[in-house]
Amino acid sequence: MKRILFALICSLAIMNTQGASRDADWKAVTEAAEKGLPRTAVERLQPIIDQCLAEKAWAEAVKAIALRLTYEGQVEGNKPEEKITRMADEISKAPPEIVPILTAVQAHWYWQYFQQNRWRFMRRTATAEAPGNDFTTWDL
């Protein structure tokens, strides 16, 4: 799970060629994460996101958004469903250039959620009503 997310983030970082001016900012984010300070990492990521979106550094913006949502999830209790719903909010306000990759990241997070909670889904019975937007209550 973490390996796939790490590989995705690394590949996005490699594709980006304009990130040299933000190396110090990324280093501060990494240091905060290594010290176990996810809230500080979130605070340091927001200026990076704003700058990347302004400069149209899409790959780096996606990386920063995904990391910010991951760290926000850690602060809020490490619930994967929170991360997924926050990504939906980000997708709704994201520039069209990054919507497809954000959607792919969200799909990966859905898959991880399903794999971790497969036993719950398997035990549920079908409902008579159409499923709502709350994916945590869906059945198979």
pLDDT digits over 106-139, tens only? 899 888 887 877 666 565 566 666 665 655 555 5
First to last CA, the chain: 22
pLDDT at 22: 86
pLDDT digits over 11-55, tens only? 555 555 544 578 999 999 999 999 999 999 999 999 999 999 999
Q: Does the pLDDT value for residue 92 go beyond 80?
A: yes
Q: Please report which confidence band the pLDDT of residue 3 belongs to, taking 50, 70 and 90 as the band edges.
A: low
Contact 86, 106 (CB under 8 A): no
